[in-house]
A and B are shown apart, each in its own frame.
Chain A
């Protein structure tokens, strides 16, 4: 609630300064309200996203010669991203209403099992 109030406070004459301050409050709020585990998930998500983008750019610009290797590498990033997003949806604050029966430990265990299977597939594809 405090984040909303902070962003509406500055005068609308200097929009760039307003944008800057709103980003600052967003970051501050993120740092203060989001639990460490979710922050961990977010940083992992960012890393995987960048890795996937790089691999796809490489495939488009340079080569996709062993297509299976591309499918393995890119598939593992995409799959891991999806699994992480699922985990985040279950453990992030505010999702308690939706996933009442699922405890954090249960969600993490699911995520681990699915990831291990995903990686096995990915390495098989690498060839």
Chain B
């Protein structure tokens, strides 16, 4: 029995070495609809496998594609490549996908202009509204030479989000991104949505076909009907092409409007712009950055440790006395990938972290300052010192950090603030000595008065007695 376990040790270590760089897991389910050829996207699958992910391919109607079994996630990430599918098997239905996302499943949706109506209905759950099917994004000013205007060429510096976590700076300054025959959507008020890629100012939405002169005449007369002019113009920042969503449980969802973006034909391809210059497309870099973020490789922060103590102590207390000096300490770590491809946790340095000491309302709101002298195994230590408010009750230490691109950090610890105990009040205060002396002297004088009164009484009584007798 001992020998297999001895063998198992190094084996497990080996597995640990090839483990994915994702902070949550490496099991990926890819759902491909039948019309999509898997080999057309081989470079994308290869890039995921190189990053250590285990890909499992299924079809939308597969019965055995359960996402959650016995309450446990069966896959950590899902790539949904089925925009044109009308019906899904129960295990891949929108409802079960949402259910799995509540359990922590990260999802990457690849969409296309032929999005079905029931898919559109589902995406409204995320507060995303799509344009009519068969319409695509067109830009007649910016597309690669030898291609059609529907293969929109986007400048990453003006169309990409300037968030270093979702899209790395090298991609933002890199080659142009080709957005071939993709759909467009608008994002609603949902505060958890992040726009990643949006359309250029010169682009518009329409059908990608060249009209014959007869058809153009017809189109003119139709548009004279004012039908088109009343429709809102969707371009520029309003026209989202790629968006991301992060829930409060840090499950991440990505929406890519054009599935052809990741096709092998555009993967690191040399394209010529209309003005004759040659560029390498940034599609590969963009989609690998974006999938890294969706699959919890970048922008992941965790709370390593949090504690609080009174001045001069080191252990957390359940009760603090009012006006105590309290120190709150928090250690945060950022996930990163080491050079040999393993996942690790390193320092997370920000300037805008703050602590609330809350009872219904924050009574104290103070900055958490990085403490470089603290000895922490991993991550960065932050500290805040403050005086407990003169208010009795159950308080909470609350740290909330919600920034686009980073994990949602929320921490809440309870502690009570109580008044001084009866034996904790200060005694014999120097400033109060006149009052002590005043009270004592009154009492002493009272005693002397009583003694004198009694001694004086002997001589006096006669007179009083006489008076009474009279």
Interface residues of A (CB under 8 A from B): 35-37, 40-41, 44, 47-48, 51-52, 54-55, 58, 62-63, 65-66, 69-70, 72-74, 76-77, 80, 93, 96, 104, 108, 112, 115, 119, 122-123, 126-127
Residues of B within 8 A of A36 (CB): 456, 459-460
Residues of A within 8 A of B442 (CB): 48, 51, 76-77, 80, 119, 122
Q: Mostly helix, strand, loop or mixed at chain B's interface?
A: helix
Residue of B434, B436, B438, B445 near A44 (CB, 8 A) is B445
Binary flags per residue of B277-291, CB closer than 8 Å to A gives 1, else 0: 000000000000000
Counted as pairs of residues, one from A and one from B, with CB atoms less than 8 Å apart, the total is 87
- CB proximity of B427 to chain A, nearest CB, Å: 7
The reply to whether A35 and B446 contact each other, CB–CB distance below 8 Å, is: no
The reply to whether A72 and B439 contact each other, CB–CB distance below 8 Å, is: yes
> Is B429's beta carbon under 8 Å from chain A?
yes
3 closest cross-chain pairs (CB), A and B: A73-B435, A73-B438, A69-B432
Residues of A within 8 A of B438 (CB): 51-52, 54-55, 73-74, 76-77
The reply to whether A108 and B453 contact each other, CB–CB distance below 8 Å, is: yes
The reply to whether B439 and A76 contact each other, CB–CB distance below 8 Å, is: yes
> Is B467's beta carbon under 8 Å from chain A?
yes
Kindly list 6 other residue pairs between chains A and B, CB separation below 8 angstroms, not including A70-B432, A123-B439.
A36-B459, A37-B456, A63-B432, A73-B439, A126-B436, A126-B439
- CB proximity of A1 to chain B, nearest CB, Å: 17
> Is B393's beta carbon under 8 Å from chain A?
no
Distance between Cα atoms of A90 and B453 in the complex (Å): 14
Distance between Cα atoms of A66 and B427 in the complex (Å): 10
CB-CB nearest in chain B for A80: B442
The reply to whether A69 and B436 contact each other, CB–CB distance below 8 Å, is: yes
> Is B449's beta carbon under 8 Å from chain A?
yes
Distance between Cα atoms of A123 and B432 in the complex (Å): 13
- CB proximity of A106 to chain B, nearest CB, Å: 13
Sample (21) of A-B pairs whose CB atoms are under 8 Å apart: A36-B460, A37-B453, A40-B449, A40-B456, A44-B449, A52-B438, A55-B434, A55-B438, A63-B431, A65-B431, A66-B429, A66-B435, A69-B432, A69-B435, A72-B439, A73-B437, A76-B439, A76-B442, A112-B450, A122-B439, A126-B436
The reply to whether B452 and A40 contact each other, CB–CB distance below 8 Å, is: yes
Distance between Cα atoms of A51 and B463 in the complex (Å): 33
Of A35, A37, A63, the most chain B CB neighbours within 10 A belong to A37
The reply to whether B435 and A70 contact each other, CB–CB distance below 8 Å, is: yes
- CB proximity of A112 to chain B, nearest CB, Å: 6
Distance between Cα atoms of A73 and B433 in the complex (Å): 10
- CB proximity of B422 to chain A, nearest CB, Å: 10
Distance between Cα atoms of A37 and B457 in the complex (Å): 7
Distance between Cα atoms of A54 and B438 in the complex (Å): 9
- CB proximity of B47 to chain A, nearest CB, Å: 73
> Is B265's beta carbon under 8 Å from chain A?
no
- CB proximity of A54 to chain B, nearest CB, Å: 7
A65-B429 contact in complex given A37-B460, A76-B442, C-beta closer than 8 Å: yes
A65-B456 contact in complex given A76-B439, A127-B425, C-beta closer than 8 Å: no
Residues of A within 8 A of B450 (CB): 112
- CB proximity of A123 to chain B, nearest CB, Å: 7
Binary flags per residue of B208-227, CB closer than 8 Å to A gives 1, else 0: 00000000000000000000
A127-B467 contact in complex given A35-B460, A40-B456, A58-B434, C-beta closer than 8 Å: no
- CB proximity of A52 to chain B, nearest CB, Å: 8
The reply to whether A115 and B446 contact each other, CB–CB distance below 8 Å, is: yes
The reply to whether B432 and A65 contact each other, CB–CB distance below 8 Å, is: yes
CB-CB nearest in chain B for A35: B460
> Is B140's beta carbon under 8 Å from chain A?
no
> Is B392's beta carbon under 8 Å from chain A?
no
Distance between Cα atoms of A63 and B431 in the complex (Å): 7
Distance between Cα atoms of A63 and B434 in the complex (Å): 10
Residues of B within 8 A of A37 (CB): 453, 456-457, 460
- CB proximity of A41 to chain B, nearest CB, Å: 8
> Is B163's beta carbon under 8 Å from chain A?
no
The reply to whether A80 and B431 contact each other, CB–CB distance below 8 Å, is: no
> Is B464's beta carbon under 8 Å from chain A?
yes
Distance between Cα atoms of A123 and B442 in the complex (Å): 11
Residues of A within 8 A of B414 (CB): none
In chain B, positions 415-470 with a C-beta closer than 8 Å to chain A are: 425, 427, 429, 431-432, 434-439, 441-443, 445-446, 449-450, 452-453, 456-457, 459-460, 463-464, 467
The reply to whether A40 and B441 contact each other, CB–CB distance below 8 Å, is: no
- CB proximity of A61 to chain B, nearest CB, Å: 11
Residues of B within 8 A of A54 (CB): 434, 438
CB-CB nearest in chain A for B459: A36
Residues of A within 8 A of B467 (CB): 93, 96
CB-CB nearest in chain A for B454: A108
The reply to whether B446 and A80 contact each other, CB–CB distance below 8 Å, is: yes
Residues of B within 8 A of A123 (CB): 439, 443
Residues of A within 8 A of B425 (CB): 127
